[in-house]
Amino acid sequence: MILIPCPWCGDREETEFSCGGQAGVPYPSDPVALSDEEWAKYLFFRENPRGPFRERWVHTHGCRRWFELTRDTVTHEIHVRRD
Amino acid sequence: MTAVLREVELDAQVSLRGEPPMAPNTIAGDALWLGPDEWLVLGGREQDYADAWAAVDVSASRVCLELAGPDAADVLCRGCALDLHPSVFPPGRCAQTLLARAQVILYRTDEHTFRLLVRPSYADYLRAWLRDAMVDRKG
Amino acid sequence: MRFTFAGTEYPGCEGETLAAALVRNGVLGGFHSLYRNRPRGVYTAGEEEPNALVQIGARPLLRATLVELEDGLVAEPLAGKGRLVAVPDETRYDTIHAHCDVLVVGAGRSGVAAAEAAAGRVILVDAGRGAAGLSRTWVVGLYDDNYAVAVEAERRVWRIRAKRIVLATGAIERPAVYPDNDRPGVMLAGAFERYGRPAGATPVSGGWSPRVHLWSQARGRLRWDDRVGAPVPDGELRGIECVGSVTGEGLPDAPAFALPDGDEDAMFVDLERDSTVADVRRAIGAGLRSVEHVKRYTTIGTGSEQGKLANVNAICVAAELLQVHPDELGTTTFRPPYLPVSFALLAGRDRGPLFDPARVTPIHPAHLAAGAVFEDVGQWKRPRFYPHAGEDMDAAVRRECAAARESVAKMDASTLGKIDVQGADAVEFLNRMYTNAFDSLAVGRCRYAVMCKPDGMIFDDGVVMRVGEQRFVCTTTTGNAAPVLAWMEEWLQTEWPELRVWLTSLTEQWATVAVVGPDSRALLAGLTRIPLDRGAFPFMAIRGGAVAGIPARVCRISFSGELAYEVNVDGRRGLELWQSLDATPYGTETMHVLRAEKGYPIVGQDTDGTVTPQDLGMDWIVSAVKADFVGKRSFTRADTARPGRKQLVGLLPADRIREGTQLVADPGSTAMLGHVTSSYDSVALGRPFALALVKSGRERIGETVYADGIAAEIVDSVLYDREGARRDGRPA
């Protein structure tokens, strides 16, 4: 059971959170300008690395805030960067 | 187990958006921090907060259960993963968390007294769960 | 005290284990092995016991070395397999969450020393009965961030979060490997001493293996120690340290490992699995080189004892046969739990009525009093129908539907999600989230709206009410109340933080009662001064005022196509409102029939995440003027715009058909054209009907398809009152 460091509430059990997957994939600023293939990339394709991974999480059963952290997908070590 | 469960009547509650007048996860009087732009005022009314970014009457949205007695923390720790030791969770702190399978706002009013704010639809379940947890003794 | 084993009664002593009592009574055999039926007996004095497995009543596969004797205990020997007895386990199981600065596992000399030296909150745990600290307690698993799961007296689960963990878990003795090392009477040397050197018993020792399991579960590394002849902890872990004999320190030198001459098929490596040196030789002969592969090939270490006695010897045997150093073979992966743990223990009190919250609305007492039959909608208990004496569901639904279409009926709609959306950018926010455009929605009016995911598929639907210039209330389906609010918050917080708009859940703030039918206006007229005539209160308008003396917000929304009013009041007065309405209660089953007759889809029933608004024939709900909204770009994707997509249609089957049934062109065909999404008997139409998703469905109107051999004509999805004439009630 990983401890997730919520920037507002501190370390809490992972059961209080939902994982939002890869961070840094913003909604495209001009979807109409994208080809079907580029749009499909945004919809369906995400990175899946072995090692440090920048992710989005939301404190669903707590303060309900979204935040980002870096989690090692092998060791589950977490590093928080408050950008 | 010496802990007593009772319901505390709340005649009004208002949910406010703006800059909360307290530190994260703390209570100031009847006002509880719920988020960086969100707080809840027990006994508060929507019309009294015209200055807030948003004010919403939520008087029917949560009920208040109180668990009091020397074993209160022992009962709660059977379904709550937070560290409730008085040095870590003293009066003045509040937390939104899970108690058994219900989402609650949990705060401590004194060493042996905790209050829970829970959605009415979960209240019957939580009361039944708490009564069951009160049956067990440690050791 | 007295106990019974294999049908024979024996005397026992307070504080003994079953195994100790058997040995003291001269029972050095009494068991048999799983596959080869070899006679066996008590081998150890601990959890690593491979032979002495017993069934006690309904409890299977217990180790006699861990069973505390009780007066009247009845135990049967098991040959490796227990019996599942279909009797509910009525034991009360408890769970505790605990926090500490230091968790010490093992109250031997090193563990006690570590606990005494530690500062702050200390938890000391030991499996023994009289141990210091928490006794009779096994730590069965170590998980991320120093989270330990322990089992106390097989009755209580401890979930411990520790800042630091000290493992003082000691070592397990292992047997020597030689022919017939499994005979009754052969036992580990340490057990031989513990049992008081029983006559006729033969002590053996192949050395001591540190209990590295928890260290390894926490991803600690291991290295082979030649002196001890077994893996020992290596390297460091943040927040976890090993002390005492688990590190290898203080353990005797292991005898040099050598395979003696003799029948390799009688040299046991894993006694519980009946695996021998011959099996390891066969694995290596098949080309396997790693311990994990040898384990899978021979099943060594896969029994309920999980290789506590077997794994180290397996590595030694394989290394010997391959003439390599054991370090080259690696070790097997250690996974929790260290000991078998019953599901009932893990479930704790979360079973039966406490398995999952049963959510109820404020009107629930009235539903119970009216004899409602409930269905689960997510965690909610919703009335499905209200049978009168002698009625089955079909009869009750027929009566409820008739009341809704011919007089007046009421339904508890409180479970639907409700979200307060307010702020200067509220309109802009709603325009981005839904397919509809909201600029033209006047204050005091509401609008049916659809929400899609970025892939263009329908996510939810509901009604958006404009209650102020910058204030709206959005309804959602019951099951999506929390997901829709979470979805809206995600977009606001992560994509559009510049928007001035705030969301607040109102799902439980208001109770909602739908008052439905041609007589609904007359009923409400007696309870309110809100003007109800068609001119004053048009369709999709919102009015405020007292109903039955309770402040209310009333909307003319209809999910049945009849004249209908949804009355919203403070949740605390929902029951009072319900009881003031003299109308026939109707449940979710009737609600489903009424809306299906009108062709209104239900998200999650007629949609499944692969259905667009256009598939449902709702092109009209997709704004043509908005530059962008969530899902818009996907409507022009090749796959979303292609011909041949499944479309919502109605079916008139010759007989009632089942939801989910595949539809084919002729009874002999297996090529699926679509499937039945909703199916009912229609009171209004006097016949069975259904809704379905069919490839190019709208082009196929008039064709016949087959559902489980039953012919069904494809028709338009709106089967009743196509003109919408019933919506405003009876003409004045």
Give C408-446 pLDDT, tens digit per residue: 999 999 999 999 999 999 999 999 999 999 999 999 999
Tell me the torsion sign for CA atoms C635, C638, C640, C645: positive
**CA distance to partner chain C, nearest, from residue B131 (Å):** 11
Q: Please answer whether residues C712 and C706 qualify as being in contact, where contact means their C-beta atoms are separated by less than 8 angstroms.
A: yes
Q: Please answer whether residues A39 and A47 qualify as being in contact, where contact means their C-beta atoms are separated by less than 8 angstroms.
A: no
Q: Which domains does chain C have, with CATH numbers?
A: 2-77 (3.10.20.440), 88-168+208-254+333-355 (3.50.50.60), 364-414+510-594 (3.30.1360.120), 417-505 (3.30.70.1400), 643-732 (2.40.30.110)
Lowest-confidence region among C121-125, C301-305, C700-704: C301-305
Chains that touch C (3 or more CB pairs under 8 A): A, B
Q: Domains of chain B: which residue ranges?
A: 4-133
Residues from chain C that touch A44, judged by Cβ atoms under 8 A, are: 455
pLDDT bracket for residue A81 (50, 70, 90): low
Residues of A at the B interface, defined by Cβ within 8 angstroms = 8-9, 12-13, 15-16, 61-65
**pTM of the predicted model as reported, rounded to 2 decimal places:** 0.95
Chains that touch A (3 or more CB pairs under 8 A): B, C
Helices C291-298, C311-322: inter-axial angle, 10-degree rounding: 110
In chain C, which residue's Cα lies nearest the Cα of B139?
C134
Q: What is the pLDDT of residue B138?
A: 53
Interface check for A79 against chain C (CB to CB < 8 A): the answer is no
Strand partners for C421: C472, C503
In chain B, which residue's Cα lies nearest the Cα of A1?
B81
Alpha carbons B26 and C326: distance in angstroms, whole number: 57
Interface check for C506 against chain B (CB to CB < 8 A): the answer is yes
Interface check for A19 against chain C (CB to CB < 8 A): the answer is no
Q: What is the pLDDT of residue C732?
A: 56
Q: What is the pLDDT of residue C681?
A: 95
In percent, the amount of chain C with pLDDT more than 90 equals 96
Q: What is the pLDDT of residue C157?
A: 98
Interface check for A66 against chain C (CB to CB < 8 A): the answer is yes
Q: How many domains does chain A have?
A: 1
Residue of A20, A43, A58 lying closest to C455 (CB–CB): A43
Alpha carbons C675 and C681: distance in angstroms, whole number: 18
Contacts 24+ apart (CB under 8 A), A74-79: A74/A50, A75/C219, A76/A2, A76/C144, A76/C145, A78/A2, A78/A3, A78/A4, A78/A5, A79/A52
Whether A9 sits inside 8 A of B95 (CB atoms) is: yes
Name the E strands within chain B.
4-8, 13-17, 27-28, 31-35, 38-42, 54-57, 63-68, 94-99, 102-110, 113-118
Number of H helices, E strands in chain C: 16, 40
Q: What is the pLDDT of residue B1?
A: 65
pLDDT bracket for residue C347 (50, 70, 90): very high
Summarize pLDDT for A1-40 with one digit per residue, the tens: 899 999 999 999 999 999 999 999 999 999 999 999 999 9
User: Residue C696 corresponds to which amino acid?
Assistant: S
Average pLDDT over residues A57-81: 93
CB pairs under 8 A between A and C: 49
The better pLDDT of the pair B41, C330 is held by: B41
Q: What is the pLDDT of residue C80?
A: 84
User: Nearest-CA neighbor of C51 among C308, C333, C316?
Assistant: C308
Q: How many CA atoms lie within 13 A of C50 on its CB side?
A: 35
Peptide bond into C337 cis (omega under 30): yes
- Judging by beta carbons within 10 Å of its beta carbon (0-12, 13-18, 19+), is residue B80 exposed, middle or buried? buried
Alpha carbons C519 and C597: distance in angstroms, whole number: 20
Whether B15 sits inside 8 A of C500 (CB atoms) is: no
On average, the pLDDT of chain C sits at 96
What is the greatest pairwise CA distance in chain C? 107
Q: What is the pLDDT of residue B139?
A: 43
Domain covering B4-133, topology: Gyrase A; domain 2 (3.30.1360)
pLDDT bracket for residue C371 (50, 70, 90): very high
In the predicted model, is pLDDT for residue A82 greater than 90?
Answer: no
Element (H, E) at C298: helix C291-298
Residues of C at the A interface, defined by Cβ within 8 angstroms = 143-145, 147, 161, 219, 454-455, 486, 489-490, 493-495, 628, 632-634, 637-638
In the predicted model, is pLDDT for residue A58 greater than 80?
Answer: yes
pLDDT bracket for residue C90 (50, 70, 90): confident
CATH number at residue A32: 3.30.2270.10
Q: What is the pLDDT of residue C263?
A: 97
Whether A39 sits inside 8 A of C147 (CB atoms) is: no
Domain that holds residue A72: 3-79
In the predicted model, is pLDDT for residue A83 greater than 80?
Answer: no
CB pairs under 8 A between A and B: 33
How far the first Cα of chain C sits from its last, in Å, is 90
Summarize pLDDT for C8-53 with one digit per residue, the tens: 999 999 999 999 999 999 999 999 999 999 999 999 999 999 999 9
Summarize pLDDT for C562-596 with one digit per residue, the tens: 999 999 999 999 999 999 999 999 999 999 999 99
Candidates B26, B77, B98: best to mutate against A (most CBs of A within 10 A) is: B98
Alpha helix stretches (DSSP H) within A1-83: 36-44
In the predicted model, is pLDDT for residue C95 greater than 50?
Answer: yes
